[in-house]
Amino acid sequence: MSRPKRCISLSDTEKLTLQEAIKNHPKYEFRRACQALLWSHKGFSAKEVAGHTEVSQHSVGKWLSAWQELGLVGLMRQKGQGRKPILNLTNSLHQQALSRAVTAHYQDAERIKADLQTALGQSMSRDTVKRFLKKMTTTGDASDVQPNPNKMPKLMLMG
């Protein structure tokens, strides 16, 4: 015995809203969910929609439920979802630890990483440290990262 086909019914206004979201929304995952809803409205099964959108049937079911419960807002990524950052620009403890590590080991990412791990008690990769340094230099918070202006004026990490 197979399950009944689960499809949603959309008004003309809702269809237009979803079509505009597909064209204009900056997030791919949101546009994909909107497209899945439109296909469901056209009568495609969850299995067919999952095949077209390259997600699981479970994801399609979650999108349909979220739409029925919350509407368009249900398709958006909610605050607090996703992986939490290991190093955070707004955390002054992280900025201070980075500043001390860079002062001690200018342009040596491996040693900077070791100092940060010791200071913060959390393991991380060298690439995480590099990304954090790059964010600090691009947001203008790097004034205390470059310890000596007589050394290389540009922060470049080797290794």
pLDDT one-digit tens code per residue, 79-132? 777 778 888 888 888 888 888 998 898 888 899 999 999 999 989 999 988 888
Query: What is the rounded distance in angstroms from the CA atom of residue 100 to the CA atom of residue 66?
Result: 47
Whether residue 15 is predicted with pLDDT greater than 80 in this model: the reply is yes
Same-domain status, 96 and 67: no
Q: Are residues 71 and 101 in the same domain?
A: no
Pick from 135, 126, 133: nearest CA to 147: 133
Residues 70, 98 within the same domain: no
| Domain membership of residue 28 as a residue range | 12-75
Domain membership of residue 30 (yes or no) is yes
pLDDT at residue 156, rounded to an integer = 45
Report if residue 49 sits inside a domain: yes
Domain assignment present for residue 154? The answer is no
**Domain edge (last residue) among 32, 49, 75:** 75
Going by C-beta distance under 8 Å and a sequence separation of 6 or more, which residues neighbour residue 76? Answer: 27, 30
- For the beta carbon of residue 33, count every other beta carbon within 10 angstroms: 27
Q: Residue 152: inside a domain, yes or no?
A: no
Number of domains in the chain: 2
